[in-house]
Amino acid sequence: MPDSIKAHEQEHLDAVVTKIKTAEKDAKQRIDVAEDDEAGIRKNFVNDLRIKTDSYEGLLETALSVRQQQQLLAERQNSWQHATTELSTIQRLEKKAYFARIDFQEGPTAKTETIYIGLGSFSDTPDHFLIYDWRAPISSIYYDGELGNVSYQTPDGEQTVDVKLKRQFQIEDGTIVTLYDTDQTVTDQMLLSALSEHSDTKMKSIVTTIQKEQNQIIRDTKSDLLFVQGAAGSGKTAAILQRVAFLLYRYRGHLTAGQVMLFSPNQLFNDYIDQVLPELGEHNMVQMTYYQYAGRRLPKIDVETLAQRFGETNTPAQKKISQLKGSLAFFDAVTAYADQLESSDMVFRNIKFQGKVFIDKEKIQEIYYSFNRNYHLGNRLQATKEALIRILNRRITSEMKTKWVEETIQDMSKEQLDTLYGEEPREFDSSEKEMQFLSRKVVMQAFDPIRKAIVRARFLSINNQYVHMLRNLPSRIDLAHEGISIADWNTSVEESIGKLKDHHMQLVDTTPYLYLYDKMTGKGGERDMRYVFMDEIQDYNAFQLAFLKFSFPRARFTMLGDLNQAIFTKENSRTLLQELSTMFDPDKTRVIQLTQSYRSTQQVTDFTKHILKNGEAVTAFAREGELPTMTLAADEAAGLNRVIDQIKQNEEEDETTAIIGKDLADCRELTEKLKAAGVAVTLIQSENQRLAPGTIVVPSFLAKGLEFDGVIVWQASASRYAAEDERQLLYTICSRAMHRLSIIGIGEFSPLLSDVPSDEYEMI
Ligand SMILES: Nc1ncnc2c1ncn2[C@@H]1O[C@H](COP(=O)(O)OP(=O)(O)OP(=O)(O)O)[C@@H](O)[C@H]1O
């Protein structure tokens, strides 16, 4: 690139930065003015207020005057908010105004236009954009194509332009460090330098280097279901975060961050990604793990944790039953069961008062089933509540005459009586009337818990209903066809009952339980949620997906996963895709596959894909690094020494490191030994723990979605990873490494590593 071009671009940048600085001053001034105005209004609020209370007109005038002042305040706050948002964009642009330039022609005779693309828009006059936001429709051409004809989507349809020049910049503090034209051979230069950076405890945005296939994910606005199957490290997570930023931009004014929800694999992951959207000038979306989502609705039940689930050893029969409970067939069976509750089988509980039955369950049942067939579960329940409240109200008068009421009033202290009278005037025609007044109050107070119980539908019994449903299931599903015997099913029902009595529940039961509850109570789901993102989809079952679709009826779904990393559902994940395809309209479903892995060096990616049986679907990005190392230690002590040496080396070279063990027990033991040897590490024990700086020790099932410069696989031994269905787990662990992978086995290496050719690692 000739120096003259660089000098010319620097001149252009300087001119833009000067304008940015002017705009910055201007925004600051507007903020000051808005703040001064607001303070002034608040200070003079009382002085300016015209308070007149002597007439109706006077009162109205006062109210209007208050309203006026409030409106003034709201306007000032609005302009303050506006100027503050603008200022934060401007300040971001001041250091790195843009990262790309595109020259294009809209038609053969049109004149060539030049645009610059950055993290936000900037214009000096309303129609004159000096910088285009990376999410603007036109910016898409930077990501989508090479030179020549490129199409992009605008709100009015597709547009095609002839791209003449694509130039990338690296700018630091207002100075162009490097620039490349992508028709030269350095197309991937920027990506390469982005990927060569060291890993951090926080994920960064990838806006400057979004790849073509990722751009399709980011900008999709048509699909109800966008399904992304992507290899480890292919940028699925990165793409969805930029997608959220894109959607918030595209639908600004109609969509807020609160209407976007991300289901993530664990809390550590939430921590890891929580800077990306703020970095892009957007608010974070609602973020939750499925476990938190379900658990939040079951405050009285201990739902099985990830560690417990991981440690579960199930008999073949239990496995089959769990599989069934997670299937679409089971979802359909629960739906059919719930529909049938409209005509029979709803289980009721007595409503009690002072230890005695107040309204018995037979009566409730009679009311519930007295409404005609047009009443579905939701309105049937509502009508029942109303009828029960009417019964309650009628009972007030008769209850007022009972002895306990009279006694209660007699036993009351003066203060208690005063509270009972409340603010109302104490003028009664007779003492009888007064007694009546007090009795009514006493009864109403005493009945309050009943009223609440009715309103909260406590006369329903979700636990009993769930058990009833489980018992009833063999009449709805052909268990023999699923390879489940009636005896095994009955045993599992008894187990579920035992757990429920103990306030415990397996994860596989929680979703059918919540779904049944929602059906019984006629809940229609959260209609306000517009976009639901689910990462690591392979760890969900079809029932959960169907339930989420039911729970967010107006949302569009983006699901991302890697069937090769199905560490919980293992082989079943393949049927998941098939079941998923029946849930959404095929015309509104889009499947995108990402095969290029960006996280790791060529050496690490090549190594890890040999762990998979079908590893050919993963392509390494050509970034050179060292070969992974494998060490076979004779015993634990020797293995431990090797870990210590590796940690030392990684720390000296400033490489973030995770030591990944198979389960919590292994990780605890290793942490203690490391600490005893004077090596500082943090043990991550649960999905709710925060991510810590420095070297961490983490069990395999919590390492999902994270990445580190270096990964030390602790105990990659035959004693830990031998079963065929642990391939995906071992793959997931190894694929967390960006450029240094150190495998340590004790006694004998895991047979799952035996397909790795010996020239793809170094034995040490
Ligand atoms: N276009 C890109 N430009 C720069 N970096 C990228 C790009 N795409 C992905 N990366 C980087 O590659 C790494 C892996 O990306 P990410 O975590 O999104 O992958 P993933 O598909 O979610 O992986 P996994 O399924 O293994 O968790 C991240 O550090 C991310 O920043």
Helix segments in 401-430, DSSP class H: 403-410, 414-421
Question: Does residue 537 surpass a pLDDT of 70?
Answer: yes
pLDDT tens column, 477-534: 999 998 999 999 999 999 999 999 999 898 889 999 999 999 999 888 889 999 999 9
Buried-exposed string 252-276: b where 16+ CB fall within 10 A, e elsewhere: eeebebebbbbbbbbbbbbbbbebb
- Can you tell me the distance from the alpha carbon of 590 to that of 597, in angstroms, rounded to the nearest whole number? 21
Weakest-pLDDT range from 226-240, 683-697, 725-739: 683-697
- Mean pLDDT confidence for 585-607: 89
Q: Give the tokens for residue 292.
A: 């938190």
CA of 235 to the centre of ligand 1 (A): 3
Question: Does residue 71 surpass a pLDDT of 80?
Answer: no
- Can you tell me the distance from the alpha carbon of 437 to that of 98, in angstroms, rounded to the nearest whole number? 75
Highest mean pLDDT among 235-244, 586-595, 619-628: 235-244
pLDDT tens column, 743-760: 999 999 999 999 999 999
Question: Does residue 184 surpass a pLDDT of 50?
Answer: no
The structure's pTM equals 0.83
Question: Does residue 451 surpass a pLDDT of 50?
Answer: yes
Q: How confident is the model at residue 198 (pLDDT cuts 50, 70, 90)?
A: low
Atom of ligand 1 nearest to the CA of 234: 21
Is residue 553 classed as helix, strand or coil in its secondary structure?
Answer: coil
The whole-angstrom distance between residue 173's C-alpha and the CA centroid of its chain comes to 34
Buried-exposed string 698-724: b where 16+ CB fall within 10 A, e elsewhere: bbbbbbbbbbbbbbbbbbbbbebbeee
Mutate to test the pocket of ligand 1, among 707, 732, 734 (most ligand atoms within 8 A of CB): 707
Q: Which of 437, 358, 431, 370 is CA-nearest to residue 394?
A: 358
Is residue 720 classed as helix, strand or coil in its secondary structure?
Answer: coil
ipTM of the complex model = 0.97
CA of 536 to the centre of ligand 1 (A): 13
Question: Does residue 318 surpass a pLDDT of 90?
Answer: no
As a dihedral over the C-alpha atoms of residue 222, residue 225, residue 226, residue 230, rounded to 10 degrees, the angle is: -170
Buried-exposed string 15-47: b where 16+ CB fall within 10 A, e elsewhere: ebbebbeebbeebeebbeebeebbeebeeeeee
The whole-angstrom distance between residue 383's C-alpha and the CA centroid of its chain comes to 36
DSSP letters, 306-369, are HHHHHH----HHHHHHHHHHTSHHHHHHHHHHHHHTTTS---B--EEETTEEEE-HHHHHHHHT
Percent of the chain with pLDDT strictly greater than 70: 92
pLDDT at res. 623: 83
CA of 598 to the centre of ligand 1 (A): 6
CA of 763 to the centre of ligand 1 (A): 29
CA of 118 to the centre of ligand 1 (A): 21
Handedness of CA 250, 255, 258, 262 (dihedral sign): negative
pLDDT tens column, 251-285: 988 999 999 999 988 888 888 888 899 888 888 99
As to burial, measured by CB atoms within 10 angstroms (0-12 exposed, 13-18 middle, 19+ buried), residue 78 is exposed
Do the bridges between strand 113-118 and strand 122-125 make them parallel or antiparallel, or are there none, so unpaired? unpaired
Q: Give the tokens for residue 409.
A: 């009033």
Weakest-pLDDT range from 44-53, 300-309, 698-707: 44-53
SS (H, E, C) 631-659: EEECCHHHHHHHHHHHHHHHHHCCCCEEE
Give the residue, by CA position, lying nearest to ligand 1 atom 4: 206
- Mean pLDDT confidence for 203-227: 89
- Mean pLDDT confidence for 407-412: 88
SS (H, E, C) 2-33: CHHHHHHHHHHHHHHHHHHHHHHHHHHHHHHH
Mutate to test the pocket of ligand 1, among 188, 234, 539, 623 (most ligand atoms within 8 A of CB): 234
pLDDT at res. 545: 93
Q: List pocket residues of ligand 1, CB cut-off 6 Å.
A: 191, 194-195, 206, 209-211, 214, 230, 232-238, 562, 598-599, 705, 707, 735
Question: Does residue 95 surpass a pLDDT of 90?
Answer: no
pLDDT at res. 757: 93
- Mean pLDDT confidence for 292-316: 80
Weakest-pLDDT range from 465-474, 611-620, 693-702: 611-620
pLDDT at res. 185: 40
Strand 286-288's sheet: what is its strand order? Answer: 286-288, 260-263, 531-534, 556-561, 225-230, 589-594
pLDDT tens column, 107-135: 888 899 999 999 989 988 888 899 999 99
Atom of ligand 1 nearest to the CA of 536: 25
> Could you identify the residue written with the tokens 């086995």?
745
Give the residue, by CA position, lying nearest to ligand 1 atom 26: 232
pLDDT at res. 109: 87
Please indicate whether residue 52 or residue 676 has the higher confidence score (pLDDT): 676
Q: Give the tokens for residue 383.
A: 């009508």
CA of 600 to the centre of ligand 1 (A): 9
Give the residue, by CA position, lying nearest to ligand 1 atom 15: 235
Atom of ligand 1 nearest to the CA of 561: 25
Which residues fall in the annotated binding site for ATP?
Answer: 230-237
CA atoms in the 13 A half-sphere facing the CB of 525 = 15
Task: Return mean pLDDT, the chain.
Answer: 87
- Can you tell me the distance from the alpha carbon of 398 to that of 392, in angstroms, rounded to the nearest whole number? 10
Question: Does residue 576 surpass a pLDDT of 80?
Answer: no
Vertex 444: Cα angle to 441 and 450 (nearest 5)? 165
